[in-house]
Structure 1
Amino acid sequence: MSGSSHARAYLLAGAALLALAGAAPAFAQAQADTAAAPAVVADPDPETGGSQLQDIVVTATKRETNLQKTPISMNVLTATSLVDRHVQSLYDLADGAVPSLRVATFEARQSALTIGIRGIVPLDANQPAREQGVGIYVDGVYLGRQHGLNAALFDIERIEVLKGPQGTLFGRNTEGGALSLVTKGPSGKFDGSATAGIANYGGYNGALRLDLPETYGVSLKLDGVVQYQGPTTKNPLAGQTGFNYFDRRGFKATARIKPVDGMTADFSYDNGYDANSPFYSQLLNYNPNGCVAGTQASQPNCKLPGTNYTSLTGTVKSLIPGTVINGTSRQKVADIGVPQQPSIDKTHGFTSNIRWNVAPEIELRSITAWRGVDSTQWDNSGGAHRVPVLNSSNVVINGQLQNGTLFSRYSLADLHQNQFSQEFQAVGTVGQLDYVAGLYYFNEHVSDDAATPNSNFYNAATGTISIVDPCATITTGFTVVNGLPVGGTTSPAGSQPGCRSIDRASEVWSKSYAGYGQVTWNATDAVHLTVGGRYTRDEKQGVLHFSRNINYDTNTAAATRNGYQPLDRTWKRFNPMATLAFDASDSVHLYAKYATGYRAGGASSRTANYLPFNPEDVKSYEIGMKSDFWEHRARLNLAGYIMDRKNSQVDISSIQPTATGNFNNLVTINAPGITKIRGIEADLTVQPVDHLTLTAGYAYTYTKIPPVLITSTNVYQNFYIVFTPRNAANGAIDYTIPLNDLDLKLHIDGNYAQSTQAFDQFATHNDASFIVNSRVALSNINLGTNQLTISAWVRNLFDKQYIFRRDPSNSLPAAPTTPGATTGNINGVLGDYGNFNAPRTYGLEASVKF
């Protein structure tokens, strides 16, 4: 679509939105004359049916408000909707539960998640000195890292998906929005539930919730969960873990006390354990661009973006026997067995949440949290499908086997993070003014290391594949240590700790200080003006301890030659916000909003010089309408927005074979100019008859990053925003059939997403997707004083298969090794590799409430 076509589309969409907003008040007022507004409930349950849609309480403005009267574009996933979709972790929302929310794994790994909203999607935010673009909060506590986000969920009351910059109330790194998880606290009354289920692939799950009665002024709530799924792709190597496996467990305890009148203090501790393995990376094709030695002009498809090669040299290698090419269906068994052990994420946290109603006009709050995550990554999902590409025969130079005999890149990484945060809030109402004010402090320490040895050995003379043991001597005269041969030495290059050639190791200390305030002037019963601002000071120091197995702490001369400088940066920002809201009637609420946000800068530990990059800033302009009509049997929410982002952080990625492994070189730069993000969102809920609820959602997201001049090649290169479909939609049907004292509930949802890019620098798209989930439940089964619910669920009902991540880097010439290079090498060309989504999973579940 051309720029003028996009402009016309935006104008038409805006006109349609305004027309709906203008027409809706009169229609809705006529409906409102015959029906009173529904009561606000904390956790509406569609299973109860009823003649009207129930309202939902949210805390997006740091106070409890009615979702429909809150002038923020947001979606809420209630506890009921999470159960209906059998959501066990945040990755289960990757199927499109909210059209503008995108969740993906980093690479093929489940140990780190990429989460984006409205086209703000960081590709590699799992680096210690890099930040997310969407803030993740649990009970008001910001989680600083992507690692550990896929842990089991504890008794979630609701998930609020706040769309657009939330920089005023939620702070830095929320330029795309915020994901706020709210858990259920102690009630002080005896209550509880126990859930147990089984599933295919040897799966099972269980949860125990115990809410104890108040004793000596203390209310205690205990939560425990277990979740297991066996591999969906088998590993032929005996004794090794298959792919797409997880084994999670977690525990949380919350104590509530009320030391004085008006004060409530919650203290909680949680601990999570998640063992998992990556999705299998299949070889989708072989030399799809027809690369051969010759002139670049004769093969325009065999071109690495950002280069100006005039000729190509080298030879595309033939595949070793046994390698399977399959770009159409998910492999049930890997073609080549490889060493694979589970990645382990361990999370823990202590939280203190204190609220004190000092007077009718003010409530004071304190949120204190210590949190940490330890992540150990083991990813050997590529087998023979990634570099290094094998030679067709053994090559011996100076009596030693050279490149081509070892393969299967085992990507290993350790990350350790600890954070402390303290937030003070004052919330209240004085006359016509609703206010929020706060102070915030955040302190984080992160360290990581990474290695990428090769785990398998191919003997072309015999056609056999063997596993290379770490630090093991293969033949007299040279040593192979799960990496490339190291002649006559014992230099570490294996997969086990102590045997690794360290690609990179870094350490980062970050501090953030902020003060914020927001005031809403309720000028009349219908007109509300909100203004706010947040001042933030970020300090970040970082060091690169290792790069390409060079110890920068001891070999300072090599570090200097590589241009290395420690990171020591400070950034300051003021993020204002203004919203004008108009209640056209009791059922129609209009708003116009201006908001800003920013994501902190950092440095790429994947570069030899620890290349720094600056923050990115976003400005957002939004109009919206929230409406209830048809006697509160229908609800329509619309939003249209324009976001302009400055200094977009984009990545240039390549795999560089070295003497000790394969270095993942990723350069993060700030794209000049303004990145444009434009979108329209719509959410519809209808209850045409009692006990039947229909929902639908749609998101249109247009993104455009200006071309970037690559200084080393003097070529303009296009960059793309990853995992952001132009069009995404979903719908759901919930129907409850009363059967005397029992309820039979039927749920089905469908989720569509247009194809997207998976890498900033490649135009290559993933597949479009359409995933259907379903659940049937029979509830209110009387067990004396207890009630039983039994259910059957299925995710990906029709077993649809699509590639959610496609990597074309192995199909193209190698990246230049010297500035201005005009000759590209195709020795490393193999084919695209990628990951298919999870197959159909299904199971039975029973839950008892007591």
Structure 2
Amino acid sequence: MQNDICLTRSVARALLAGTAFMALAVPALAAEVAPAEAAAPESASPESGGLSEIVVTATKRETNLQKTPISISVMDSKALTERHAQSLLDLGDGAIPGLRVATFEARQSALTIGIRGIVPLDANQPAREQGVGVYIDGVYLGRQQGLNAALMDIERIEVLKGPQGTLFGRNTEGGALSIVTKGPSGEFGFRGTAGIGNYGAYNADAHLDLPEFHNFSLKVDGVVQYRDPTVKNPLPGQTGWNYYDRRGVKATLRWQPSTDFTADYSYDNGYDANSPFYSQLVNYNPLNKPAGAIAPLPPIVVVGDKRMDVADIGVPQQPSVDKTFGHTLHLNWKVAPEVELRSITAYREVSVEQWDNSGGAHRVPVYAPNGNFSRYSLAGLWQHQFSQEFQAVGSTGNLDYVAGLYYFNEKASDDASTPSSNQWNADGTGYTILDPTPTIRGHRSIDRASTAWSKSYAAYGQLTYTPDLMGGITHLTVGGRYTHDNKHGELTTVNNAPTDFTFREKNDRFDPMVTLAVDATQDINLYAKFATGYRAGGASSRSLTYRSFGPEKVKSYEIGAKTELFDHMLRLNLAGYIMDRTGSQIDFSLVTPQPNGSTRNTLETINAPGTTKIRGVEAEATLSPMQGLTLNAAYAYTYTKIPPTLNPFSGVVQPVFIVFTPRNTASGAVDYSVPVGGVTARLHLDANYAQATQTFDQFAMKADSSFIVNGRLSLADISLANDSSKLTVSVWSRNLFNEAHIYRRDPSNQATLGDYANYNEPRTYGLEASIRF
């Protein structure tokens, strides 16, 4: 690990030095090679102060956001930069109200992503699936693990809300999150950023575009992101909590022998070392049990309702490490004006080594004289996937069409163990560290080990018909997707004993979609949509018997309006929806001490009876009343209700809940730029609010509401050696007011000790410099 940190710092220094060198030495060369004009700011508004067009690819073709009859939120590269969003987890502050992003448990190595109340609690097992599909350049990412890798040169992130079962397929019942990166331009260009921040943070990225040579263009991207822990570990030499060390590289080679054919091959490689958020004890004996009926509180354990800076108990902990890489080949052939053929071929791998000692003395097993404690959760996951998609996209007469074939093949394996890392002294005033041997792979007592295989085949099509009637103001879209899923798996180890539990599931599924859109005026577009989607079934590898469960299925009815008013100065988009879901996958967990002094988290997943109701309203507004000023506001209301479900551990039918889904969320932002003495001054402020919500399916207890403010102040377009080189200097802050809230609260330990919880990140801030030429 020390070698990795040294390598990271060396890469960071190289990027920093390279950025500075290129700023001084290359502008003249750049002017000779490609004397192009400086790039315009992202999402620039026209001089009239009106709003510029936003292009999306939600329908597998480039369309105007306002003409696309889907509820979509878009965050471009400029917006990501203004918020200092370096990974998907940074969007968990509520930047897009309908999108929910949270860690699984306290771990940054797996992200829970939800839209419109479709938010899985535990989808990080090999045989579990997500409810929202995550795509990068059209390639589906099959696992939650690895999703918190550093973002590299993003053009935009499209959040498609509601079932996307027709064009995007299985596991998109809540929607899809589509990440689009910037490809080669064929012209020489360089962009670089370097920055420092509190908690020892530094970041750097570099993006080099090379000129086209014999129809080939090459673009290379590199990124480094580092930050020390925000909660210190008292045990010398051990990693604290909420630390990260990310780096990645991507290279894209484009071959374009004619205007009708393009081939893009890209390779990306990411490394993400991280540690979990700290799980601290926030109350003691909340059930007011009599003395002797609850474990005594050791004198050195701190109970508090404030976010800790230093943990009360030092524990062994090393960073978890996520590694990702992938190969992708995009082929586009414009066969004729009416048809374009496409192919997307991709192979990807994810590997995770998890080292999570987030709870210290705040989780079971609780205090006992000379007893063991501090549950060190060790796990590994290894996944590889191959996907192939063929598309035909085009228009003929009054018809726009998309048709496609899709194949997906995945293998994923995991194992886990949970030894205790510490031992109490007899009086509870101190502790010792146990023999580390049980943390070494090959010496662990394995709680579980499993492997799952999944194959999926699909054929889909979608037609949009625009009749000449009434001037072509109506558009009828119909589509459907047939999917065949074939999944199976085996649970080979339970509590360190070999087992032969298996599951197999085959599903054939057809997901239709019908949309009627009407152009009420040139700038007011109305639509009504019906769509279905599903989340595949599977089995819980945390179950003692590899209990299987069926798929979730959802029907959605949506109406919406997309408008641009006051000469394109105001954009107002509204949507209302009703979703009925059957077979809701509900997680019930039970943490129990084991004879060897460790603990086991057993999780069973049940398909809830009846119909889960999800209802919501969404609104987004963008106003540009004058040149240089843009105001944004968004709101989402989400109502959810699941029928009571049988708890397999207690045998009692009980209320259950959808996690990480606030009833009300809202966000707002202001961006203002003004010329000052030959440069441009820019101000960005955003504020994000979310009501409290449950963090476990089986517990009614909620975490806290949140209100997060982020800001950035920049001096941009500072000329360097010549007008082709521009410098931007910025100061930024996330969580500007250092607001503290509990985003995850666990009451499962109430009867023996108290609630433990995870707080959000403290205020972070820094200084950045960016150049481009």
Q: Percent identity?
A: 64
| Letter of the structure 2 residue corresponding to residue 530 of structure 1 | T
Matched with 1:140 is 138
User: How many Å separate the matches in 2 of 1:84 and 1:157?
Assistant: 14
**Deviations for 1:92-116, whole angstroms, at most 9, x for unmatched residues?**
0000010010000000000000000
Number of the residue aligned with 1:532: 479
Give the structure 1 partner of residue 298 of structure 2. Answer: 320
1:841 equivalenced with 2:749 (yes/no): no
Indicate which of 487, 497, 503 corresponds to 2:447. Answer: 503
Q: 1:763-782, CA deviations, whole angstroms, 9 ceiling, x for partnerless residues?
A: 00000000000001111100
1:242/1:208 CA distance change after superposition, 3 Å: same
Provide the rounded CA distance (Å) in 1 between the counterparts of 2:578 and 2:259. 47
Do the aligned residues in 1 keep the contact of 2:300 with 2:429 (CA within 8 Å)?
A: no
Q: Give me the whole-angstrom Cα distance separating, in 2, the residues matched to 1:578 and 1:47.
A: 34
Q: In structure 1, list runs of 5 or more residues that go unmatched.
A: 1-40, 294-313, 395-404, 472-493, 553-558, 560-564, 813-828
Distance 1:49 1:773 in 2: 27
Q: Contact 1:158 / 1:181 at 8 angstroms: preserved in 2?
A: yes
C-alpha distance in structure 2 between counterparts of 1:199 and 1:322, whole Å: 33
Q: Which moved more, 1:125-134 or 1:709-718?
A: 709-718
1:258 is displaced (CA, Å) by 1.5
Change in CA separation of 1:461 and 1:44 when aligned onto 2, cut-off 3 Å = closer
> Which residue pairs with 2:732 in the alignment?
793
**3-state SS in 1 of match to 2:608:** strand
Q: Deviations 1:127-152 (Å, cap 9, x if unpaired)? A: 10000000000000000000000000
Residues 48 and 691 in structure 1, CA contact (< 8 A), matched pair in contact too: no
Following the alignment from structure 1 to structure 2, what is the Cα–Cα distance between the partners of residues 462 and 333? 19
Partner of 2:560: 624
Question: 1:129 and 1:546 mapped to 2: Cα distance?
Answer: 15
Give 1:533-612 correspondences, 5 Å limit: 533-552=480-499, 565-612=501-548
1:450 alignment partner in structure 2: 416
Paired amino acid for 2:335: V
Q: 2:581 aligns with which of 645, 649, 672?
A: 645
Amino acid at match of 2:130: Q
Which entry has the higher C-alpha Rg, 1 or 2? 1
1:321 positional shift: 2.1
Verify the 8 A CA contact 1:58 1:160 in the aligned structure 2.
yes
Counterpart residue number, 2:122: 124
Is the CA contact (8 Å cut-off) linking 2:367 and 2:428 kept in structure 1? no
Give the distance between the partners of 1:667 and 1:800, measured in 2 at CA.
Answer: 35
Please tell me whether the aligned partners of residues 707 and 717 of structure 1 are also in contact (alpha carbons under 8 angstroms): yes
The alpha-carbon distance between structure 1 residues 43 and 620, as it changes in their structure 2 partners (threshold 3 A), is farther
Partner Cα distance (1:507, 1:65) in 2: 41
Counterpart-to-counterpart distance in 2, 1:582 and 1:739: 45
Amino acid in the other structure paired with 1:841 = T
Alignment of 1:364-375 (within 5 A): 364-375=341-352
Indicate conservation of the 8 Å contact 2:415/2:446, yes or no.
yes
CA distance in 1, matches of 2:46, 2:443: 60
- Could you say what secondary structure the match of 1:651 adopts? strand
Instruction: Note the C-alpha offset of 1:470.
Output: 2.4
Q: CA deviation at 1:43?
A: 8.2
Residue matched to 2:74: 76
| 2:417 corresponds to 1:417 | no
Structure 2 counterparts to residues 201-600 of structure 1, below 5 A: 201-292=199-290, 315-327=293-305, 329-391=306-368, 393-394=369-370, 405-461=371-427, 463-471=429-437, 494-524=438-468, 525-552=472-499, 565-600=501-536
Q: Secondary structure at the match of 2:147?
A: coil
Moved more, 139-148 or 701-710: 701-710
- 1:569 CA displacement: 1.3
Number of equivalent positions: 729
Amino acid at match of 2:152: F
User: C-alpha offsets along residues 589-618 of structure 1, whole Å, 9 cap, x if unaligned?
Assistant: 000000000000000011111000000100
* Secondary structure at 1:687 match in 2: strand
Contact 1:174 1:598 in 2 (8 A): yes
CA distance in 2, matches of 1:799, 1:121: 27
> 1:197 corresponds to which residue?
195
What is the aligned partner in structure 2 of residue 819 from structure 1? none
**Cα RMSD between the aligned structures?**
1.4
Letter in 2 for 1:470: P
Distance 2:289 2:492 in 1: 38
Deviation at 1:463, TM superposition (A): 3.8
Report how far residue 801 of structure 1 moved: 0.3
Residue 109 of structure 1 is matched in structure 2 by: 107
3-state SS of the aligned residue for 1:259?
strand
CA distance in 1, matches of 2:52, 2:245: 37
Structure 2 distance, partners of 1:624, 1:194, is: 40
For 1:544, give the aligned amino acid: L
Say if 2:274 and 2:320, in contact at 8 Å, map to a contact too: yes
Deviation at 1:464, TM superposition (A): 2.9
Report if the CA contact (8 A) 1:43-1:79 is conserved: no
Work out the CA distance in 2 between the residues paired with 1:571 and 1:221: 41
- CA, structure 1 residues 90+326, in 2 after alignment: closer, same or farther (shift >3 Å)? same
> In the alignment, is the contact (CA less than 8 A) between 1:42 and 1:56 conserved in 2?
no
Counterparts of 1:80 and 1:741, CA distance in 2: 21
Question: Which of these residues, 716, 726, 739, is aligned with residue 653 of structure 2?
Answer: 716
- In the alignment, the residues of structure 1 paired with residue 140 and residue 127 of structure 2 have an alpha-carbon distance, to the nearest angstrom, of 17
User: What does the per-residue CA deviation read over 1:654-675, in whole Å, with 9 as the maximum and x for residues that have no partner?
Assistant: 1011123211101001001000
Q: Is the 8 A contact 2:526 2:560 kept in 1?
A: yes
Partner of 1:29: none
SS in 2 for 1:810: coil
**Displacement, 1:715?**
2.6
SS of residue paired to 1:830: coil
The whole-number CA distance in structure 2 between the counterparts of 1:687 and 1:653 is 49
One-letter amino acid matched to 2:439: S
User: 1:57 matched to which residue of 2?
Assistant: 55
One-letter amino acid matched to 1:514: A
Instruction: Provide the rounded CA distance (Å) in 1 between the counterparts of 2:258 and 2:215.
Output: 11
Give CA-to-partner distance per residue, 1:70-110, whole Å, 9 cap, x none. Answer: 00001000111000000000000000010010000000000
Match for residue 736 of structure 1 among 666, 673, 685: 673
Q: How far apart, CA to CA, are the structure 1 residues paired with 2:710 and 2:50? A: 26
Q: C-alpha separation between the residues in 2 aligned to 1:50 and 1:249?
A: 41
The residue that corresponds to 1:305 in the other structure is none
